A and B are shown apart, each in its own frame.
Chain A
């Protein structure tokens, strides 16, 4: 079952902050965040694991609330290069090793 992302779209000015949320109705093993620029492959940003372990970029932070089955990606002091579509991919007990992706959040950072 696919996770639900919010908001669908965000427009920021350079330097502003944003939070992108990802929630699931199922118990999750892990949440994976990717950024995709138009016409390109999704690029890995961050993985959050059940139990609190995290792997990812130093400049990007995220949280994973296991009880609520929610994850949030925090983009601080946004740069023009942050523009793109952000997808969360989740693994639950039924998805095996495949990732179930949300519909994405489109982020546009303007000068």
Chain B
């Protein structure tokens, strides 16, 4: 069964460093998302991406964050200057988006996550 994959599974970095989290969405999916989950808390939406541009973003997704689809398969989240509070599990998700009018009914499939630890 097709699945979303993410690399690395765990990333440790120093405060102020840049990190890039990578995701390979399900191959025929067109809508991509990043969520994060701070340990023990709920899953929070960061950003969605469609047709090579950001569709929506939350208040969390400030100027230190950026997303990119550098090629036909990868979807990346870059955090430019990491802070201690960026430590969290970052999940990538994708959905089919065959019919834009019904994207709100699409199932989002989540990847296994990247655990980011900022020291």
Cβ-defined contact, A97 with B104, below 8 A: yes
Known: A32-B107, A41-B110. A98 touches B42 (CB 8 A): no
Min CB distance, B118 to chain A, in Å? 19
Q: Does A101 contact B (CB under 8 A)?
A: yes
Known: A30-B105, A32-B107, A97-B103. A40 touches B112 (CB 8 A): yes
Cβ-defined contact, B42 with A102, below 8 A: yes
Cβ-defined contact, B55 with A2, below 8 A: no
Cβ-defined contact, B41 with A98, below 8 A: no
Cβ-defined contact, A101 with B43, below 8 A: yes
Proximity bits, A88-101, B CB within 8 Å = 1, else 0: 01010001111111
B residues contacting A by CB (< 8 A) are 4, 31, 33, 35, 41-45, 48, 55-56, 58, 91, 95, 103-113
Q: Which 10 A-B pairs have the closest CB atoms?
A: A98-B45, A41-B110, A101-B43, A96-B56, A103-B42, A101-B42, A41-B112, A97-B103, A29-B104, A42-B110
